[in-house]
Amino acid sequence: MLAYHYSKSDNLDKACQYLKLSGNKAMKAYSNLEAFHFYKDSINILNQMPKTEQNKREQLGVILSSAIPMRLSAYPEDSLKFLEEGEKLCKELGDKKSLAAISNFMGMFHVYTGDVRLGRKYQEASFEEAEKIRDVGTMAPVGYGLCFSYFLEGEFRKIVKIAPRVIDSLEETQMEHEFFGLPTNVYSGLQGSYGLSMGFLGEFMKGEQLCEKALSIAHKINHLFSISAAEYSYGVLFAVKGDGKNAVKHLQSCVEYLEKSQAVMLMVPAWSHLGWGYYMLGEVETALKFIEKALEMQMNIGFFASYIHWFPTLIHTDLGNLNDAKVHAEQGVNSAQTSHQKWAEGMLRIPLGRVFGKIEGSQLHKAEEHIVQGIKILEELGMKPFYVHGYLWIGELYSDRGQKEKALENLKKAEAMYQEMGMDYWLARTKKLLEVVRI
């Protein structure tokens, strides 16, 4: 009320003060969107005031404060505008440390809204600047941001190089419990990203150890969004492995903590993976309900993740809904190409080829082309748990066409890889198909 009162008067200093205090109070209550609007009003008032150095620094501080609820609220209106204002102020003030932070937030914005390549460029530039400063307080949040960018580009091998470097620095300086101006605990977040990346590369045992550590730290500091992020990493790791029971356990917990903290940004992938977990448990209706919910949310909040279409593609194919499966696969491939998410393109080309192989009157070479191309993309990225599906489904394709030798060759390769990685759900599906081929 005081903030509103002063904003209508000539006392702009008081208006800014109470708007900031209102934003801080809203943040503590996890009212992220409300907090963003308070900070936004404060920034707009500061824009009306004289451009003194003190006012510029004040405005920069509010912009940095607004970046946290901005991200948790999935980047509402004027988000980029304020970040660009912050970048300009940093350069005018010669504030390299704040510039690294703003560049980090801008990178996250572009990654989240669809331009992954541009986002990564911001993150890499920010990380290089942070390393020049040689300040852990700057390098840690920027390193976390860069890992976020690499994740949506499928550069998991880069994450497993950068994350442990930053983790070691945090341990050496005993700064494991710090947030560094981010909405999540950086140490826990990096452990989770590192662990999940190991899983995407097929190292599930190591990945589980790291995700367990991330979750333990998050619970120790008792921070809602940090817990939800750690549960997300752990749950997705199990979903990739094919462990539906543990995927559902952790992702259900993730969704509950996201709702408590009013954090929108992870909702789309969390609901999608939770749906996939239920599908692996045989609960098809629940699976489709959650995945459709995720797709609807993606349209409403603008979260740009092409790989989300992987889940409905697989489920509709298994159910025989080939037209629906084809639509989702093609949408996913197209959006992946637009957003430069090469790994998502690879993931979706494989089931798209499978769909073409099952559609009546389709040509074998078209199905083969998509699957082989998908395998190649994912092999180059080292994504073993995903390109192995290509061998399973091209084996299925050859089996359907009566090409027994080719089918056995690819299915045996898939069987060995699934067994090596402990992907029991997928191993069982492969063995079942092998039994049919061997008859």
Residue 304: what pLDDT? 60
Helix, strand, coil percentages, rounded to 5, for the chain: 80, 0, 20
Output the six-digit token pair for 343. 């790994």
pLDDT on residue 6: 46
Is residue 157 included in any domain, yes or no?
no
At residue 324, the 3 state secondary structure works out as helix
- Residue 46's pLDDT is what? 87
Residue 110 Cα to chain centre, angstroms:
13
Maximum alpha-carbon separation in the chain? 86
CB 330 within 8 A of CB 365: no
Q: Contact at 8 Å (CB) between 313 and 348?
A: yes
- CA–CA distance from 225 to each of 30, 177, 231, 267, 308 (Å)? 10, 14, 10, 12, 22
Domain of 390 in residue numbering reads as: 304-439
Burial class (CB in 10 A: 0-12, 13-18, 19+), 67: buried
Q: Would residue 75 count as lying in a domain?
A: no
Residue 110 lies in a domain: no
Does residue 101 form part of some domain? no
Q: CB within 8 A of 253, min separation 6: which ones? A: 227, 231, 235
Which residues, other chains included, contact 162 with Cβ-Cβ below 8 Å and sequence gap of 6+? 127, 143, 146, 147, 150
What integer pLDDT is reported at residue 303 of this predicted model? 60
What's the Rg (C-alpha) of the chain? 23
Compute φ and ψ for 426, nearest 5 degrees: -75, -30
Distance CA 309, CA 253 (A): 23
pLDDT at position 257, please? 96
Give the amino acid at 425. Y
Look up the pTM and report it. 0.84
In a domain, 277, yes or no: no
Residue 135 maps to a domain:
no
Residue 88 belongs to some domain of the structure: no
Alpha helices in 176-242, H assignment, sequence order: 186-200, 204-221, 224-241
- Do the Cβ atoms of 285 and 55 come closer than 8 Å? no
pLDDT per residue, tens digit, the chain (439 aa), is: 444 444 455 567 788 888 888 888 888 887 888 988 988 888 888 888 888 998 899 998 899 888 888 877 878 888 889 899 988 999 999 988 888 788 888 877 877 776 777 778 877 877 887 777 778 888 898 899 889 889 888 999 999 999 999 999 999 999 999 998 888 999 999 999 999 999 999 999 999 999 999 999 999 999 999 999 999 999 999 999 999 999 999 999 999 999 998 888 789 999 999 999 999 999 999 999 999 999 998 887 766 678 899 999 999 999 999 999 999 999 999 988 888 889 999 999 999 999 999 997 667 889 999 999 999 999 999 999 999 999 999 999 999 999 999 999 999 999 999 999 999 999 999 999 999 998 7
Q: How far is CA 336 from CA 107, 115, 439, in A?
A: 18, 10, 40
- Residue 398: both structure tokens together: 């050859």
We report the CATH number of the domain holding residue 324 as 1.25.40.10
**How many folded domains does the chain comprise?**
1
Angstrom distance (rounded) from CA 327 to CA 310: 11
| H or E segment to which residue 267 belongs | helix 267-280
Residues 82, 83, 85: CA angle, nearest 5 degrees: 65
The DSSP line for 45-77 is HHTTS---HHHHHHHHHHHHHHHHHHHHTT--T
